[in-house]
A and B are shown apart, each in its own frame.
Chain A
Amino acid sequence: DAGITQSPRHKVTETGTPVTLRCHQTENHRYMYWYRQDPGHGLRLIHYSYGVKDTDKGEVSDGYSVSRSKTEDFLLTLESATSSQTSVYFCAIQGSHTEAFFGQGTRLTVV
């Protein structure tokens, strides 16, 4: 398996609280992504990074922020969690001209 680890794997949080999900890689890949997966929607891109401190928005970025202060870590923060953000979150890493490798996912429930 590609060296990519997501933490936590499961989390239950209350509406209105901030939540941070972590993605850690040991492959030194340039590109890192956060997706959310919901039934009937496939995977939708939240934010992505193409280098340290270089990030950009995906198609469903509202309510989320990211940070990448070093190559190996990409953090996703839900600034004030809402029930609509209950989902499974996947991190992916990618080198240039290669496929993306995915983490095992984080199941987040907002109550």
Chain B
Amino acid sequence: AQSVTQLGSHVSVSEGALVLLRCNYSSSVPPYLFWYVQYPNQGLQLLLKYTSAATLVKGINGFEAEFKKSETSFHLTKPSAHMSDAAEYFCAVSDRSGGSNYKLTFGKGTLLTVNP
């Protein structure tokens, strides 16, 4: 069974500082990987996805993530935090084998706080 671990339930950074949100996965086959963002009282919005093309994936709002198979990691980064980045971020994994296995398994989420 696949699983996702997000290290740190709460990350706090200063405006302009580097954002690093960590995600490690376990999967029996090379997976699809996703980062979603959730703003207060809203649904989840896709930030970026890895589906076996380039290992460095660029997403919306200046975020990017790198797939490292050897480390089973898919960490999310942004060079310079903005106040509007304050939200909860979820990493998710989906099996490639199709059928019922496309379903997403989520990590527990990381709440990002950006301090002025």
Co-assembled chains A and B: yes
Residues of B within 8 A of A (CB-CB), count: 23
B43 touches A42 (CB 8 A): no
Instruction: Bin the interface of chain A by size.
Output: 20 to 34
A67 to chain B, nearest CB (A): 17
B51 touches A48 (CB 8 A): no
Is B34 an interface position by the 8 A CB rule? yes
Tell me which residues across on chain B come within 8 A of A31, comparing CB atoms. 102-103
A50 and B36 alpha carbons, distance in the complex (Å): 22
A50 and B99 alpha carbons, distance in the complex (Å): 7
B100 touches A48 (CB 8 A): yes
Residues of B within 8 A of A (CB): 9, 32, 34, 36, 42-46, 49, 51, 90, 98-100, 102-109
Residues of A within 8 A of B (CB): 31, 33, 35, 40-45, 48, 50, 56, 58, 90, 92, 94, 96-97, 99-105
